[in-house]
Each structure stands twice: as structure tokens, then as C-alpha cells.
Amino acid sequence: MAGAGDAQTRLDQIVQLIAAELHAEVCSCYLMRAGDILELFATVGLNPSAVHRTRLRVGEGLVGTVAASARPLALADAPSHPNFAYRPETGEEPFRSLAGVPLLRGGRVRGVLVIQHLRARNYSEDEMETLQTVAMVVAELASAGELVGAGEISTAGDAGVLQQRLAGIGINSGLAMGQAVLHRPRLTLSELVAEDPEAEFARFGEAVSTMHASIDVMVQQSREAVPGDTADILESYRMFARDRGWLGRIREAIAQGLTAEAAVERVQQDNRTRMAQVADPYLRARLDDLEDLTNRLLRHLSGKRSPIETALPDDVVLVARALGPAELLDYDRVRLRALVLEEGSPSSHVAIVARALDIPVVGRCAGALSRIEAGDPLIVDGDNGQVLVRPGEDLIDAAARAMATRADRRLSYQAMRDLPAVTRDAEPIQLCINAGLVIEMPQIADTGAEGIGLFRTEIPFMVRATYPDVAAQTALYSEVLEQANGAPVTFRTLDVGGDKTLPYFPAADEENPALGWRAIRIGLDRPAMLRIQLRALVRAAAGRDLRVKFPLIAEVAEFDDARRLLDRELARAAKEGIAPPSSVKVGVMFEVPSLLWQLDALLKSVDFVSVGSNDLAQYLFAADRNNPRVGSRYDPLSPAFLTVLDRLAERCRAARVPLSICGEMASRPLEAMALLGLGVRILSMTPRAVGPIKAMVRSIDSRQVGEFLKPLLSGRERSLRPKLRAFARDHGASIEDIALVR
């Protein structure tokens, strides 16, 4: 690879070396050409005149078989194989045994490496492993574009591909198919040192002005196309673009003799180095915004077109290491089907914008850019956090059927939208949705939900560059209540800490942040923050109902302290002559098991209880839900977890305190069916889940579910899921989730 000479010379040397090391009479290398043709590019042992003359189609002969299957092949008696194809110009007739391995890069076959021996022999595992290791090196040489032109490489090898399944996390649910478009906006710098700094300053100033103008246009267009909270994200991005510190450091680098392009890259390298030492996930995510701005500024300096401006397929699945929110909006939203990120988190700006665009997103998909090539067909399963690369016809058909089923069911759910959520035994069920952005409020009417069971107030905090004051928060909560149009909205106070951080609030350095300083603990330790939020909520609810719940309450004393702060804000509003809410209901998020031993005191103090099933499960089972080794180890349909919920539901009924579930359990038909059997009558879920859950509600007899389920709670099974699924099937319950077959 690193030897002297051109690529052909190096390839000739490689086959000679392999033949010598493996004591083979023949070593040959075939490379893929356009049209699924394998051409002999180098050989030791066969006739030299056959090089560049001998060609095989994919699937033809033993070499073509290796390419078609993308798998190694070892034969002690090659001529006896039914796929053997003798090519007289090669002079290979004397050779009996053959071993061939595919040259794989990015999951695609780029050629085949073959060794042959005169006598019949079996190839050992060590020999095959050695050949496969060498094939990796040869594949890199073959993909460099020196032996076969880069344009031909991009169209060659479509027949010999490996299907892959990449795992990540589902950042936005949904199922989509399309062609991969790789987001690699980096530009190669040709000149680093400037002869005329003044000219570079002028070029830089002009490029910055042009960039600012283009960002202004983009922000305005996005306000019209994607209104709501995304405006805050883009305003934050625009503030980055005008940051004096960033631009000043670039000017300093120009003054030191660098070209404008080199200065921009130099400053961004410094940013990467500093950010690499930062543990705060929010601040790390801001590096994506700076990367976006760096690439954008470099394009304006170079005058080169954005890769986004080139021709795109009709169905785009965007694949990137990371992405800024503006970069996503650069792509044609009509063609954009899904997003795959090597990094990314649910709280990143690009994730929030993607949710507003309603496209599936899979993040933390390790190695996506190295294992996916431009034009590869992809299936993105945001529900299960999976990306299927180069799927076979069976999976494409399955995905197409699933998408068609989703579309059909969406129509049936739409037709069911205005029907009541009532069980067959006449039990009314209240279905609400979870939200965190103003843009999601129309989903109440769109889904037929009865209100917002959980409004995550931290999300608007996370998309801002500075802490919102009372006026800003009041305006936000007023708009939420206004758009709810009289439907109840339950606001959860600021739930930050752990994996949710604010850019303007120092994150605690904790070994186990899930058990650390977060949620109500921050609010009570920093009462000014909590009081500002409660003050804004009281003012926004003037003349309307106010529903507030406090997260991560571990003991009744914490609830009492938080309630006193709310009472002080209500008294303050009355003193200032501000119209009070028409009613005030205060509750808790039941997430910490310690409250089970204070239920009597708790239920005398609260107006309602909401179970956060995700956190309750991780605390009950001592299993980090973000850890893939243990996160799925414990099933919420286990007797242990359902027994906790059963006892809680029973105590709430006796105390006449409404109980709701607003975690993931409420969004899944089978789990929701079990909850109804336990007596839960209020469910809050993702908007997409309202239709399936309502269909389930209307298809079951909740009394029968309870009679079947409760005797099972004393059992020893790890999960009651199979028995509940069998019950649902036998009783005609609609509990089917629309997801890709795994």
C-alpha cells in the first residue's frame, strides 16, 4: 500500500507477496467494473496476457460466485464445483484447489482475491483469515479511485452487497425508506499561508456578510414553513453566527499570516479540542452548530456550491456524523424521509427540528458513515432505533407493507378520532398526549385527545441560549394554554439534570446523574428558578385552570416545600392585582419508589398523581434505562412492576385521587391494556399512539382484563407479556403496534 510506484505496480507487488507467504502457485486479484463485471487486474501464476482481458459477470464462475454471495469460498477440488467456469486464456487448467475472498468496503464487494494450488488441498482457518485480512488492505487500494475511476466505482458492485443492520437509539419514531445521502460538507484547503493579509481580511468580511444574509433568509423561510419553537433554535444559531468571540479569533488567525479559509479551520480545530474535554452533553451538542457555521463560512469563502445544491434522489435518507439544525433545513423537506446520525441525542437542536418536520431519526448509530455509501437503499426504523442497510427484497417488501399498514391505520384512526374512548364494559378512558413545544399543540385536535397530560417545560429552556425570564415564560405558557383551546394542560416543572442540561446552567459532575442533582432537587436548592417558573405559570393561567406537577418527588416533605413556593406566587399575584387562575390543581410525578411508604400522607396533599413509568421502572429495578446491557432486561409487564402499579391504583381509588400514566407504557397498546385491567383510567402518550390506544380501548372489556391479570401478579414469571398477548388474541383486542418485523 505504501510502496513506491503507481497503484497497478503496488497491486502487482501485493499478489506476488501473498503468493509467496501462502506458498500458492497462483494469486489473482479481480476488481469490479461498472455493469457488475469482474476484471482480472493482477496475477501471479496465470498467463500475464490475461490481465485486463479476462472478465466475468457477477455470479459467473467461482470468482463471480464469491462476488455474488460476498462470502469466502474454499474448495479442495475446484473444477468439480458446478459453478466452475474454465477460461482458456488464463492457463488455469492445471490448478485443482482454490480459495477466494471478497474485497469488501462499506459493505459492498469491490473485487475478489483468489489463491490456487496445483494439488488438491484443504485450506485452514488460519489461511482463510490471513487472506481476508489482506483483502481488507487490497479493498482500500481498489476503492481509492486509481485503479478503477471513482465515477465507475460509485456505479459498480451493486450486485455484490452485504445487508447490514445498524443499531442506535430512536430519537424520533416512524418508519421510512430511501436512498442514502451522505452529509460530508468538509472542504479541502489548498492554500494555508497568505501573502496579503489585508486582502484576506476583505475576503473574510465579505464572506461573513454574505453568510449572515443567507442565514437571515433561511430563518425567515423556516419561520413560515416550520413555525413555533424552532424559531428559538434558529435564533440561537443566528446568534452563534454573529458571535464576536468566534469571529474575533478568526481575524486574529488571519493577522498571524493564515489565509481566511485556514484561519476558519484553525479556530474550529481549537473549538473541537476544547469541546472534547467537556462532559456536558448540551455544550458538546453546540459543537455541531459551530461545525455547521464553519462549513457554511468556508463555502462562502471558496465560492463552491454546497453539496446540498447538487441533484438529490426523490427519497432522501440523510446520513451524518452530527448535524446542526440549519443544515437539516438546507435539504428539500419534500424529499427528506429520515435522518441517521452517528452521534445525536433527543435533546439536540437537530432532533427537535426533525420532530417538528415529523421525520424518523435514529441517533448514536456507530460507524454509519463508514458502513453506508451514497445511494445505498436504507430502511430507517425510528421506533426501534434500527437502520437496515442494503436490505433484501424480503425486508423491503416487509417495510413497504408496514408503511402501507401504517397509512391505512392512520386513516382508520382518523375516522375514529371523534369517537369516545370507552371500553366494551362502558368504562370511559381519558386519553391525553405528551408535548413540550408549542408546535405540538395542534395535535390535541388532530388526534382527538382530551388534553395535554404532560407538558415538558424543560424543552423550551433547552433550545434557548439564555435563561428565559418571567415575561418570556409567561408568553410561552399563555400561548400553550391559548392553543389548547380550553383542553386541560398539565405542566411539569423544570425537569433538568441527568441527561438534560441547560447551556446557561452549570452541570454537576456526578458519577450517576440519574440518581443525582436533578428535577425538583435543583428547583428546591435554587428556589429562585422554581419561583420564576411558577410565577410565569400563575400569570399565564389568569382566569383559566392551572395544573402543575412536580417531578422526582422522593418524600412528601419535598412536595410540601414545592407547594409552599406555588402558594407564595399565588399570594404575590393576588397582592399585585393579577387575575388568579380559575382553579389550581397540584400533583406529583410518581417516579421514586420511596413514596410507596408515604402514600397516606401524599394522597391527603395532592390533587392528582402521575406515574412516570420510565423512571419508576429504572429506580424500582435499579437498572439504568440508557444502558443497553440492562435497560431492556426488566419488563414493565413483570409481576413485580405491575404489582406496584396495582397497589398504587387501589390506594388512589380509595382516596379519590385521579391517577394517570404518562410514560412509555401508556403509548403501547399491550402495556396500556394491562394498565386498564389494573384500574388506571387516564393515559398520556405520544401523539402517534392515540389512534392505536383508542382502538385498543374500544376493543376490550376492562373488567375481563382485570380478572385475568390480577391472579397472575403473585406468579414467578419474569414477564406476563406472552400471557397478556395470548389473552388479547383470544378476546379480539387491538394491541398490534405497527413496526418493522424484527
Give catalytic residues, as residue numbers: 349, 662
List 379's β-bridge partners, or say none. 177, 388
Cell numbers representing residue 651 in the block: 390506594
Q: What do you get for the CA distance between the two ends of the chain, in Å? A: 41
Main-chain phi, psi angles of 737, to 5 degrees: -85, 140
Furthest CA-CA distance within the chain: 103
Cβ pair 101, 68 in contact under 8 A: no
Instruction: Tell me phi and psi for residue 701, to 5 degrees.
Output: -105, 105
* Beta-carbon contacts of residue 463 (< 8 Å; ≥ 6 apart): 229, 232, 233, 236, 349, 352
- Closest of 532, 533, 524, 586 to residue 554, by C-alpha: 524
**What is the C-alpha separation between 551 and 86, in angstroms, rounded?**
74
Grid cell, residue 689, equals 399512539
Calpha distance 30→439 (Å, rounded) = 56
How far apart (Å, rounded) are the C-alpha atoms in residues 182 and 184?
Answer: 6
Determine the Cα–Cα distance for residues 638 and 636; give it in Å rounded to an integer: 5
Assigned C-alpha cell, 342: 452517528
Distances (CA, A) of 665 to 93, 214, 250, 301: 66, 44, 50, 51
Return the bridge partners of 99, or none: 74, 115
Q: Which of 168, 501, 457 is nearest to 347 (CA)?
A: 501
3-state secondary structure 597-661: HHHHHHHCCCCEEEECHHHHHHHHHCCCCCCCCCCCCCCCCCHHHHHHHHHHHHHHHHHCCCEEE
Amino acid found at 139: A
Query: Which set of grid coordinates corresponds to residue 372?
Result: 453506508
Check if the beta carbon of residue 338 is closer than 8 Å to that of residue 360.
yes
Closest to 178 (Cα-Cα) out of 295, 332, 348: 332
Nearest to 697 by CA among 718, 658, 728, 669: 669
CA distance 159 to 33: 11
Residue 619's identity, in one-letter code, is Y
C-alpha distances out from residue 496 to 273, 461, 518, 523, 665, Å: 27, 9, 6, 9, 22
Q: Are 104 and 129 in contact (CB under 8 A)?
A: no
Q: Report d(CA 595, CA 591) in Å as an integer.
A: 8
Other beta carbons within 10 Å of 131? 22
Nearest-angstrom CA–CA distance, 392 and 612: 39
Find the helix or strand (DSSP H, E) in which 674 lies. helix 669-677
C-alpha to C-alpha distance for 534 and 157, rounded to whole angstroms: 61
Find where cell 398523581 sits: 609
Between the CA of residue 542 and those of 452, 474, 481, 565, 579, what are the distances in Å? 18, 10, 10, 18, 5
Distances (CA, A) of 50 to 6, 54, 92, 152, 358: 20, 5, 11, 22, 55
8 A C-beta contact, residue 298 and residue 187: yes
